[in-house]
Amino acid sequence: MDRSTDLDSALRFVIARIAEQAKLSGEALSDEQLLLLNYLPSSPTTYWDPEMPVLVPKNFNLERVCALAKSAYRHDRQVNPASLDWEFALAVFTLDRHPMGGLLQAAGMKPRRPLWDQLLLIVAAFVFIGATMSLVLLAGKEPWTLFKRVELGFGYLAVLLLMYFASRRIQEWQLEKDIERFRLASQVFGTVR
């Protein structure tokens, strides 16, 4: 699996479909909208301060691009419901943490979650509770010394970090598996570009 090739393919597909949908709507994408599609900001450009409310102007170009992406996705789902092009693109953008994934999610796409995701969440909660209880039991009944407090704090932090990185790795593994599944489906049905 070549991630840069997948990313280029997904970007070409999404940008081409949004441009096609803009032409179908009767108004082609402006130069600013094309530039926005090709160079999406990776983080918000404004920050909200609760002490000082500020009026933030709407980004009409971004809103139009999101609306076009939503209508292109809906159109493709109506024409060919078996197509996995959009799911492939969202999985690639999510795996690479590309801002286009945020645009697709703002357009209404939701990543598919496997059924065992809920079970994994419950198992993670039990592991967390078990680790917390074992750390408390290790402390014992004798008075807590500074060394024991630091030791328990580091143990607790280590469990949290381990769970965080394990969940990130599981998510990446699932996305890679989904991309391979979409690629296999494209060979069978000829859908993913």
Q: CA-CA distance, 104 to 67, in Å (whole number)?
A: 10
Q: What is the chain's percent helix, strand, coil content, to nearest 5?
A: 70, 0, 30
Q: CA-CA distance, 14 to 84, in Å (whole number)?
A: 12
Q: What is the pLDDT of residues 67-121, one digit of tens each?
A: 899 999 998 888 888 778 888 888 888 888 888 888 888 888 887 777 777 777 7
Closest among 81, 89, 82 to 17, alpha carbons compared: 89
Q: Which amino acid is at 135?
A: L
- Cβ neighbours, 10 Å, residue 118: 10
Q: CA-CA distance, 37 to 169, in Å (whole number)?
A: 29
Q: CA-CA distance, 179 to 187, in Å (whole number)?
A: 12
Q: Is it the case that residue 169 has pLDDT exceeding 50?
A: yes
Q: What pLDDT band is residue 144 in, cutting at 50, 70 and 90? A: confident
Q: Which amino acid is at 49?
A: D
Which tokens in the block code for residue 43? 């983080």
Burial class (CB within 10 angstroms; exposed 0-12, middle 13-18, buried 19+) of 186 = middle
Q: CA-CA distance, 95 to 27, in Å (whole number)?
A: 32
Which tokens in the block code for residue 28? 């082609």
DSSP state of 28: P
Structural domain boundaries of the chain?
3-111
pTM, two decimals, is 0.69
Q: What is the pLDDT of residues 26-60, one digit of tens each?
A: 888 888 888 888 887 665 544 445 565 655 567 78
Closest among 78, 65, 67, 79 to 108, alpha carbons compared: 67
Residue length of the chain: 193
